[in-house]
Structure 1
Amino acid sequence: MGLPTLEFSDSFLDSPEFRERLQCHEVELERTNRFIKDLIKDGNMLISALRSLSLAVQRFSQSLQDFQFECIGDAETDDEVNIAQSLKEFSQLLNTVEEERRRLIQNADDVLISPLERFRKEQIGAVKEGKKQFDKETERYYSVLEKHLSLSSKKKESQLHEADSQMSKDRQIFYDASLQYVFKIQEVQERKKFEFVEPLLAFLQGLFTFYHEGYELASEFDPYKQQLQFNLQNARNNFESTRAEVERLMKRIRSAEEDFKAPSSYTMEGYLYIQEKRPLGSAWTRYYCTYERSSKMFTMSSPDARPANRQVPMLRSCVRRKTESIDKRFCFDIEVVERHGVITLQALSEANRRLWMEAMDGKEPQKGGECIELVESRGLTTLGLYRTGGVNSKVQRLMSSVFASTAPSDVQLDADAWDNKTITSGLKNYFRCLAEPLLTYRLHKDFIKAAKYDDQKHRVRAIHALVHRLPEKIETCWRFWSSTSNISSHSEQNMMTVSNLGMIFGPTLMRSQEETVAAMMNIKFQNIVVEIIIENCNKVSPQESLSSHSSEKNGQSQMSPPSSPAAESGSSPPAASPCLTKDSKDPDPPPKSSPRPPCPLPPGRPPSSACPSCRPLQSPARLWSPAPTGLFQPKATPLCHCLP
């Protein structure tokens, strides 16, 4: 129920009902006054809290602005650059929001506090002053009225007339005070409808403007947020891939495995025992040996010898020593230019001998071309191709029958006997088992450097140039690159994008020779190299440079000693596949309930200058993707079918 109406005519009657209605208005104004007073107090607290929040956000924003991301390595990927820059983007966004908040805080006093305070003091205060005046005049009027009514009628007529005249003036003063009070109290009751609510509306409008500014900024921020989420997902994927490799390295170093190759500028280094002939027999002396493959320099130094006493002969050949020919284990023979005869060395273990043999000796020819063709012919639209692993027992049988050193190079695959998952897992195992990756250790740092260029076109050109520096036999591996490029073109069906293929094959086709944390941090750049080669297969494949490569090679041969065909190929499987041993990482591990079968590959044989199973390909043009301008000209000479 609303407040009763106050009639001006009731001021003359001044009835108890009038006084009761007047009191209702007074109570309501007093309640409104207390509410506005509390509202002003709460408003000041809100403004103070907003000011404190704004200061805290500004400090937070400044902290984001001052922090500088530092990533491991001497260069950053595009994802890492965007992630590092994101903190400054966040800081700028927060500063923009805070500018609007500061305007809200600065205007809050003028918009909200001052109008409410002014209404409470001026309007409600005027009513209070009017009530005081009305109460004072009421008391005086009724006091004067009582005295006037107590005058004796026997007084002179002139005195009575004068008293009546004064009483009339006092009554008029009382009526004026009553009328003014009734007018003012009703005026304030009406004024509070807008003078009380308008400041609140203005303040809320400023608050909503602040929120709207945040909404607009959020809308503008959305594309950047989506790109950043993509960068973060890529960084997370690279982290998971790198973390697994780093953890494997950590465990390997912790367990001090014998086949662990420490990081070094040399191709291989470590202690070897060398057989030295004496008048009464022979003795085995421990030397610290190093071998640098590019220069073929083999260094032997005694642990207590000075550097000037080191022996630095050039390696001529290296042959595994048969067990029955010597009573020592883990032996192999080498020939050097400066000495006649062979030098017999003893490694620390079979695994250690294998590492020395891989560093010094030739490699077996590559295999797997038919597997690549079969996968491409029937698996382009298979979901998760190369991602989904096959059954381990089947993969081991494929490795034994196709990729083992004793397997014929012209083996014909039965398409019905092998499913895509088994073949792709076998190919991944094979590439991982190569003693040297397809993109070679020699060019590893150059490829990484090329991947770190900021300009995308510069990256492609640099990698294009490096591709033509690969050994000649590795150029035939473009059948594999062409296949992966074709697979990525069907990513809408198989979900194998260039990024996914790069993550799968980056650590395999371009692994580092040095197993260090720094090398693991470069896995993301290895992935980028593989992505660029796959995505730009038609641009970076050999093309017309095949002939120029041969000329360049002939020119180099005049300036450096001749090397064996095995040394030129640079990427053959090891004597015993290291990735199939119990301590190595298998991308398609068997279930925990089934034990891991032993490595099916027998010990390797010395490399030969020609593959006995070589035969001309039926269609040499399938080595590369078809060129739109006819620039790809396959070699006219027969190619080795055992190479992918």
Structure 2
Amino acid sequence: MGHPPLEFSDCYLDSPEFRETLKCYEQELERTSKFLKELIKDGNSVITAIKGYSLAVQKFSQTLSMFQFGVIGDSLTDDEINIAQSFQEFAGLLQEVEHDRMMLVQNASDLLIKPLEKFRKEQIGVTKEKKKKFEKDSEKYYSQVDKHLNLSAKKKESQLQEADELLDKERVNFYESSVDYVYQIHQVQDRKKFDVVEPVLAFLHSILTLNNLTVEMTQDFMPYKQELQLSLQNTRNHYESTREEMEELMKRMKHPSQICKMHSFLPMEGYLYCQEKWALGVSWVKYYCKYNKEGRLLIMVPCEQKTTTKQGPTQLMLKSCIRRKTESIDKRFCFDVETIERNTPVTFQALSEGDRKLWMEAMDGKEPVIFLPFFMSTVELNEIGFKFVRKCINYIETKGVSQEGVYRTVGSNIQVQKLLNAFFDPTNPGDVDLHSSDGDIKTITSALKFYLRSLSEPLMTYSLHRDLICAAKSDNLDFRLSEIHSLTYKLPEKNREMLEMLIKHLVNVCSHSEENLMTPSNMAVIFGPTLMRAKEETVAAMLDIKFQNIVVEILIEDYKKIFSYMPEDSTAPPVPPPRITPRKRQPITISKRPPRVYQALSHEHYQHTESNY
């Protein structure tokens, strides 16, 4: 079973569950680091131990076969399944040709060792540095919290204000470190899918093509190699699309205004100190509390348990919540809660004045916090929008359908805004002739994408988003197509009309892929997040972007079938549960023929370059 995604919002709560999940990711990272270290060592053995080459290859293949990719989310794309089982494919191939003596290419170190060492240094090393900073800021913040909460309310106001400001500063530092660390963990987990596999693929290719292998064996391996290279390229494209969205989400989550906004959709939970009275005095015990507003149920999980005894969570049913007057208690940020289970009120201490207000608002106390609504401008799917899209399509197909990288190259933001403002001017909407304007192809394509992304609801609607994602995750390719076909006709009429017009245009652009290098897969990476998006922006939603791309790729590749006729009314089979088990492939069969040596391919042959698309 894969690890659950780490949400940026969990960084703000810093719950025990979040810490436990983070620990699982750290163990996975350590396992990957040890694996890479072992892989690099074995690679060097293959390069240097010519006489013992067969033994080194056997050890190398065993190391590959034992490694399994960790899964983020609940499903894998076909390309990721192919990548996940690639090491087993490599290991099987090496075992079949173990008896043949191999000659290592001179540039084997550049193909394998350097890229893996670079990954360990630049990716895993950076992640470990982020972890150190996170742990340091965490310890510093909670140490400051304990010190802060023990301040007497009778201190001078200036001293209290200074203490509050110091705590706020430490809280911001800790939250930023936590978000940065979570972001880096997700990046290294995704990048290893291709940054680790590509060097191994390049190294393996050099072994197979530069040694006394038969022509038959090389020919049998080539189709799988090409399929894997395509899977690596598609996965890299999905990664780039997801990374940009996740990076934007991370930046927004760091903004102070986002912290207030999160309280509108996050459950009320966090750390509270509870006053407990004993025969010898009073103590303040730290709890992680969760409050269910509908059931008025407060769950208290103790955080400072002794090793000899373990205490389970305490559940209290709330009757009322009252703010504690400052002069009535020596502690700050306190409030009393009356419960059904206890005869006397329970006194809690929040982490700050703002935190106390949030708890009281959730518990219907006397000091609710009123948040200002968050507004944003939106664009509607109307007649002017249709006119704009038609004009853009006509311009692109007339002047730029063969231009290399069309739709991937981004235009000037100033020129894009200027064009949109002129076209959607309320005083004279649509009165712009694109052919007579100064706009170039990249300005027009960027404006078209910007318009579609600015719609108040994505073109393929929020209501169908989950069903479309589930269809894309199906292991049955025929059902995948028929379900997307059926769901397309559940779109509102205007949305379907706009979608059909746009996809027809993308089919036309992709038909010139030999010139513009825009295949259906590359085009889907661009238009997946444009035509589809989840209602709530979370890391889990970002991880589903690759399945959005698959939906759009199917729409392009099967345009005629989807839009030429209505789907059949036959009852479709239920969507099978998401799968993470790789499908079975036919084993590679190697036959013996006279040996032949081939020219080695450099590592750059396998590297992705943005300019190629």
TM range (shorter): 0.3 to 0.5
TM score, norm. by length of structure 1: 0.44
TM score, norm. by length of structure 2: 0.46
